[in-house]
Structure 1
Amino acid sequence: MSSWHNGGVSVFQSLRAVFHPSDAPAIRMPARLPERPVIVASGGVAAQPPIYLRPLTLDDEDEWNAVRWDNRDWLAPWDSGDPTHGAPLTFNTWIQRQRRSEEQGAGALFGIIHNGRIVGQISLGAISYGSMRTGVVGYWVSRQVAGHGFAPLALALLADWALADPDGPRLHRLEIAILPENYRSRRVVEKIGAHHEGLRPKYMYINGRWRDHETYSLLAEDAGEGFAARLMAARRSA
C-alpha cells in the first residue's frame, strides 16, 4: 500500500511540522502595550492611546472580580463555558495557568487599562507555530466604557504586537470568532479591517449549547504601518 505524500513529505510529517512542541518558544510578555507612543499615520505625530494593555497578575484579583461582577449580566450572553462542567478555577489558579501558558508559548492574557483601572480583558490563545503560526483572540470591555472605541483599539494593539513586533510571538494570522447576533463585537472587527471568513457551525460552547460563530481574521500582511496607527488616524479624521 502506498503512503499519502504532499510535496515529498508524508502527511504525518507535515502535521508534526505544524504542531511540534519544540517550535513553541516562551512568550516574552511586555510590561505594557504599546511600549511607546503610537506614530499616527496622518502626519507622523506621536500619540498616546487612551488605553494600554498589561499582563494581569495575582494583585489584580479584587479589581478584576469587581469589574466582572458589575458586568455579569452585560457579558453573560457571550460567555463561553466548559461542556464537561469541570470545577471552576480560582483567580489564583487561573493566573498561574496563564503564566504556564506564556512559558509554553501557548497564549497571552492582558488587562485593558484606562485611567489606571481595569476596564476589560483581551487574550490570545490556541497558538500554533510551525507552518501555521496562528492564534485565537477573545476580548470583553466593561459596559461603562462601551462605545468609546476601546475594544477595537485593544485588538489593534494586540495585533501589532502578535503579528509585527520582533519581540512578540510573530504569528501570521489571528482569528476572532463572534456570535452572529453580537453586533457590537462585529463592529470591533470591522473597524480594524478584519477579513470575514464565514460561518463555522457549532464552533464554541456558549450558555449551555454549541453555537455557530462568524469568523474573522487579521494577517501579518495587513499590519502595514500598524493597526493602532491606522485606527487612531481614522478616529482623528472622523
Structure 2
Amino acid sequence: MHGAAPSYNQWMQQQRRNAQEGRGMVFVMEYQMRIVGQISLGAIDLGSMRTGVVGYWVDRRYAGRGFAPMAVSLLADWAFADPSGPRLHRLEIALLPENERSRSVARKVGCHYEGIRRKYMFVNGRWRDHETYSLLAEDRDGGFADRLMAARLTSRHAKTQSVQS
C-alpha cells in the first residue's frame, strides 16, 4: 500500500516538479544561518476551490519560540494576497489530536476549528484521525503576520507592566 520512502534526491525532484506545476511549495525556517524548521503548502487546487494544505515542523531545540506561527502567518499572507503567490481562497491545517503544540500554532494564527477527519492521514504505519483547522482569504484583515506581531507586542507590554507593578 505504501512503498519505501523516497531518497533525498527523489524528494527534491518531486518538490521542484510540484512548484513548477503549481501543486505545492516548500520553504525552510531559518534562524542565525541554521534551518530550524520547514513549512509547506501542498495539495494546491487552483480550480473552483482555490485551496491548499499547510504542513510544518520545527526542530525540537527551537520549538516554542514562535517560528511556526510566524511561518504559517507569512505563508498565508503570501498564498492569499501576494501577487507572486497562488491567490488562494482557503488554507487547511490538519494535525494529530494529541499534538498540543501544533494546535497552539493554529490558534495563535487565528485558524478556525472545523472538526475531526476520520483516518485522514497515514502516519507511522497506520491511518490516523486529524483535527482540521482553516483560514480563509477574508480572515486576513490587514495580514496574519501583522496581527501576530501586534499580539506579541501587546503580550510583551502586558508582561513588562505586570513586572513593574
Q: TM-score with structure 2 length normalisation?
A: 0.91
Structure 1 residue aligned with 2:10: 93
**Which residue, out of 136, 155, 172, partners 2:72?**
155
**Structure 2 residue aligned with 1:135:** 52
- How far 1:127 sits from its partner (Å)? 0.7
The whole-number CA distance in structure 2 between the counterparts of 1:182 and 1:126 is 22
Per the TM alignment, residue 208 of structure 1 is displaced from its structure 2 partner at its CA by 1.2
Give the CA deviation at 1:97. 1.1
Give secondary structure in 1 for the equivalent of 2:64: coil
CA distance in structure 1 between the partners assigned to 2:83 and 2:65 by the alignment: 30
Query: Where does residue 235 of structure 1 map in the other structure?
Result: 152
Higher strand share: 2
Letter matched to residue 29 of structure 2: I
Aligned pairs for 1:20-31 within 5 A: none
Q: Does 1:144 align with 2:61?
A: yes
Q: How far 1:85 moved relative to its partner? A: 2.9
Distance in 1 (CA, whole Å) between partners of 2:154 and 2:33 is 27
Q: Which amino acid is the alignment partner of residue 143 of structure 2? A: G
Q: Secondary structure at the match of 1:235?
A: helix
Counterpart pick for 2:35 among 106, 118, 125: 118
Q: Does 1:169 align with 2:49?
A: no
Instruction: Please give the secondary structure, in 1, of the residue aligned with 2:77.
Output: helix
> What is the CA deviation profile of residues 24-51 of structure 1, one whole-angstrom value per residue up to 9, with x for unaligned ones?
xxxxxxxxxxxxxxxxxxxxxxxxxxxx
Deviation at 1:225? 1.1
Cα distance, 1:118 vs structure 2 = 0.3
Q: Which structure ranks higher in relative contact order (CA pairs < 8 Å, sequence separation ≥ 6)?
A: 1
Q: Which amino acid aligns with 1:236?
A: L
Aligned ranges 1:1-238 → 2 under 5 Å: 84-238=1-155
> Separation in 1 of the partners of 2:112 and 2:44?
19
TM-score, scaled relative to structure 1:
0.64
**Count of residue pairs brought into register by the alignment:** 155
What is aligned with 2:161?
none
1:87-118 residue CA offsets vs partner (Å, 9 max, x unmatched): 22121111111111111110000011111210
What runs of 5+ residues in structure 1 fail to find an aligned partner?
1-83
Q: Structure 2: any 5+ residue segments left out of the alignment?
A: 156-165
- Please list the CA deviations of residues 48-82 of structure 1 after superposition, one character each: whole Å capped at 9, or x if unmatched: xxxxxxxxxxxxxxxxxxxxxxxxxxxxxxxxxxx
SS at 2:145 equivalent: helix
Tell me which stretches of 4 or more aligned residues in structure 1 moved more than 4 Å. Answer: none
**Deviation of 1:157 (Å):** 0.7
CA deviation digits over 1:191-221, x for unaligned, max 9?
Answer: 0110111111110111111111110001100
Q: Secondary structure at the match of 2:17?
A: helix
